[in-house]
Amino acid sequence: MDLISYTYDLVRQIPPGRVSTYGAVAEALGDIRAARAVGRMMNQNPNADTMPCYKIVYSDGRLGGFGLGIEDKIRRLREDNIEVVDGRIKDFDKVFFNDFKTSYPLKKLRRQQLEMRDKVSLNNSFTEVNTVAGFDVAYPKSDFDTACGAIVIMDYHSIEVVEEEVVYSKTMFPYIPTYLVFRELPFLEKLMAKIDVKPDILMVDGNGIMHPIKFGLACQAGVTLDIPCIGVAKKRLYGKVREDNWVVDDDMILGYAFYASYKVRKPVYISPGHNISLESSINIVKKLSRFKNPEPLRRAHILATSSLL
DNA sequence: GCGACAG
DNA sequence: ATCTTGTCGC
Ligand SMILES: [Mg+2]
């Protein structure tokens, strides 16, 4: 079962007359970081009569949001004999439910990642670079509509497009910080099976080792697909950005904040994913950068966005 | 209270 | 990412 259905089934466990919180549901999924994703999944709830998202409130007892209007959330709570006083659940600690039956799916996924992590190499597995691919996914407004993944393969020397492909699929996994790979890797796997040219290097819109467990999208994509992979993120996820633009944690240098030109206000954050060094990652991104994002990624982003159904 | 939170 | 149903730590 997919994580969205799993989340809805967790919410269905809440007994009559009880409420729970976005964070508590996230912890039942296996990681408090999913709290906002729980909120989003509640927001996208297709049927408020069969999945009682009105039972989910903020961790401090305030009501949180409701797509059908907060008055309707209050009405549904009162029908369950849950009183709302001054925008808060009355006797919140007494009606708070946190006894979910769960197998903590996010913890399972994290364990799998920690096992896979040993396979990461930060040495170049290639001797020359002739083609570089960029990969990105564009999402529709509703998580139940079809998303579009795109890959653009370019010649490293002429910087011309060699091949482009798109794939379509429903989104099966919400966006949860540090779990991006489970949302986007399925699109990349489909694309890799579809292309004629196997690129020498892959670039993804996300991080490599610049990640709390040093195993971001670029690492897992590289290991899974057995391809040298660079992470190029628009925002920092993990690590401290030093004055000299190197990104570090207590252990090591993780990546580099790269400004494509003096016109660019914000950097991209480069970190190696797999079968490539940080130094080579930076050199390749630099060579392919005309604007903020390196060309294969910039074009993959445009292709995915413009191909949305 | 404000910022942090890959997409 | 899209246009918003979060939580924690400083
Ligand atoms: Mg993206």
pLDDT digits (tens, 9 = 90+) for A9-48: 999 999 999 999 999 999 999 999 999 999 999 999 999 9
Please report which helix (H) or strand (E) contains residue A195, including its range: none
Q: Are residues A217 and A190 in the same domain?
A: yes
- Does residue A111 fall inside a structural domain? no
Rounded to the nearest 10 degrees, the angle between the axes of helix A22-29 and helix A35-43 is 110
Cα A148 to Cα A307: distance, rounded to the nearest angstrom: 7
- Does residue A110 fall inside a structural domain? no
As a residue count, chain A comes to 309
Q: What distance in angstroms lies between residue A205's CA and the mean position of ligand 1's atoms?
A: 5
pLDDT exceeds 90 at position A149? yes
Cα A134 to Cα A161: distance, rounded to the nearest angstrom: 11
pLDDT exceeds 90 at position A143? no
pLDDT tens track for A82-138? 999 999 999 999 999 999 999 999 999 999 999 999 999 999 999 999 999 999 999
Closest by Cα among A211, A215, A56 to A120: A215
Q: Residue A254 belongs to a domain with what CATH number?
A: 3.30.2170.10
- Does residue A108 fall inside a structural domain? no
A237 touches strand B (CB under 7 A): yes
Q: DSSP 3-state helix, strand, coil percentages of chain A (rounded to 5)?
A: 35, 20, 45
Which pLDDT score is estimated for A96?
A: 98
Which pLDDT score is estimated for A53?
A: 98
Task: State the nearest residue by CA to the C1' of C3.
Answer: A141
On whether the CB atoms of residues A268 and A203 are closer than 8 A, the answer is no
On whether the CB atoms of residues A18 and A52 are closer than 8 A, the answer is no
- Does residue A266 fall inside a structural domain? yes
Helix residue ranges per DSSP H, A52-120 = 70-79, 92-95, 105-116
Which pLDDT score is estimated for A144?
A: 86
- Does residue A38 fall inside a structural domain? yes
Which of A63, A78, A103 represents a domain boundary (last residue)? A103
Count of structural domains, chain A:
2
Cα A301 to Cα A84: distance, rounded to the nearest angstrom: 45
The distance (Å) linking the CA of A127 with the C1' of C2 is 41
- The residues pairing with A166 across neighbouring beta strands, listed in sequence order, are A150
**Closest nucleotide to A235, Cα to C1':** B6
Q: Which nucleotides of C are covered by protein (CB under 7 A)?
A: 1-8
Dig out the tokens for A214 from the structure.
Answer: 């040093």
Q: Are residues A180 and A281 in the same domain?
A: yes
Which pLDDT score is estimated for A286?
A: 98
Q: What is the set of active-site residues of A?
A: 53
Which pLDDT score is estimated for A222?
A: 98
Q: Are residues A175 and A225 in the same domain?
A: yes
- Does residue A212 fall inside a structural domain? yes
Which pLDDT score is estimated for A51?
A: 97
Which of A70, A103, A136 represents a domain boundary (last residue)? A103
- The interface predicted TM-score of the complex, written ipTM, equals 0.97
Q: Are residues A161 and A89 in the same domain?
A: no
**Closest nucleotide to A179, Cα to C1':** B6
Q: What distance in angstroms lies between residue A256's CA and the mean position of ligand 1's atoms?
A: 19
pLDDT exceeds 90 at position A263? no
Q: Are residues A148 and A11 in the same domain?
A: no
pLDDT tens track for A196-214? 999 999 999 999 999 999 9
Q: Are residues A183 and A229 in the same domain?
A: yes
Q: Are residues A35 and A121 in the same domain?
A: no
Q: Residue A26 belongs to a domain with what CATH number?
A: 1.10.10.10
Coil/strand/helix, residue A99: coil
- Does residue A112 fall inside a structural domain? no
Q: Are residues A142 and A259 in the same domain?
A: yes
On whether the CB atoms of residues A106 and A87 are closer than 8 A, the answer is no
Which of A103, A128, A153 represents a domain boundary (last residue)? A103
Distances, alpha carbon A233 to alpha carbons A107, A217, A251, A260, A268, in Å:
24, 10, 21, 13, 6
Q: Are residues A87 and A233 in the same domain?
A: no
Domain that holds residue A64: 3-103
- Does residue A74 fall inside a structural domain? yes
A3 touches strand B (CB under 7 A): no
pLDDT tens track for A48-75? 999 999 999 999 999 999 999 999 999 9
Q: Are residues A42 and A68 in the same domain?
A: yes
Q: Are residues A150 and A51 in the same domain?
A: no
pLDDT tens track for A79-91? 999 999 999 999 9
